[in-house]
Structures are given as C-alpha cells and as structure tokens.
Amino acid sequence: MVVEGNAAVQELVEYALREPGHHVLVTRNPREALELGRRVRFDVLVASVETLEREGPSLVRELRRIQPSLPVVYLANGSGADDTDSANASALQRPFTLAELQEVVGASLDGGAETNCY
C-alpha cells in the first residue's frame, strides 16, 4: 500500500514497486488506506510523512492495530522522520532513487525493517 499526496511521486513509487513484480494499491488519502486495511492485508505500507501529518497521523497506529506486524517505509523530506514510529519501520529521505526505494521495501518484506535513512 502506497499513501502519497504528490501525484508524480505516487506514480514513480508505484512504478518502482510494480517493476519487480509487487502488487501495489495506491491512494492519496490515509483514510482510504485505513478502510482498505480493514479489508485487505498489506505486506508493507509506504507512506509520505507529510501526507500522514496533514491527513491522518494515526493511520499507522490504526493499521498496526489491525495488522500488528505491518512494516512501514516512511518517505520523508528530511524532517518528520524522527517523529515516526521506529518499530518495524524504515525512513527513506528524499531525494531517493528508485533502486533505494526497491531495496528498502525489499528489506521490509524480508523482515529486515529498521530505521534506515538514505
């Protein structure tokens, strides 16, 4: 699941994750992600820190109540990543390459999610 408010970034993230064969759900709205999380199991949540702060700061907490071991990859603009929940989470600092995104998501899916900043 990708939650990203910027349409261009959203499209690039979706492409980068589909390329290696991941099935990707995408939304700009954290509330929609929560509703989807109630019906569909996510393997990883990729979320813009800014979108979460603006629209739904409790999204991760609520999704983890539903899916306790959900790994999270936060996309951050240099600030805000320090405020994220670091349990089973990684932070990817912008600008990042698509290869870096694929690497961090792959590590999260393999159970190796920690707070990593690129």
pTM of the model: 0.83
Instruction: Report how far apart, in Å, the C-alpha atoms of 70 and of each of 8, 49, 87 are.
Output: 25, 16, 10
Report residue 82's pLDDT band, with 50, 70 and 90 as the boundaries: very low
Q: How many C-beta atoms surround the C-beta of residue 80 within 10 A?
A: 16
State the average pLDDT over residues 45-54.
Answer: 87
Report residue 116's pLDDT band, with 50, 70 and 90 as the boundaries: very low
Domain architecture of the chain: domains with CATH: 2-109 (3.40.50.2300)
pLDDT value of position 112: 52
Q: What are phi and psi of 74, to 5 degrees?
A: -90, 130
pLDDT value of position 113: 46
Q: Do the strands 72-76 and 89-93 form a parallel or antiparallel pair, or are they unpaired?
A: parallel
Q: Among 21-30, 60-69, 82-91, 103-112, name the one with the lowest average pLDDT.
A: 82-91
Whole-angstrom Cα distance, residue 44 to residue 48?
13
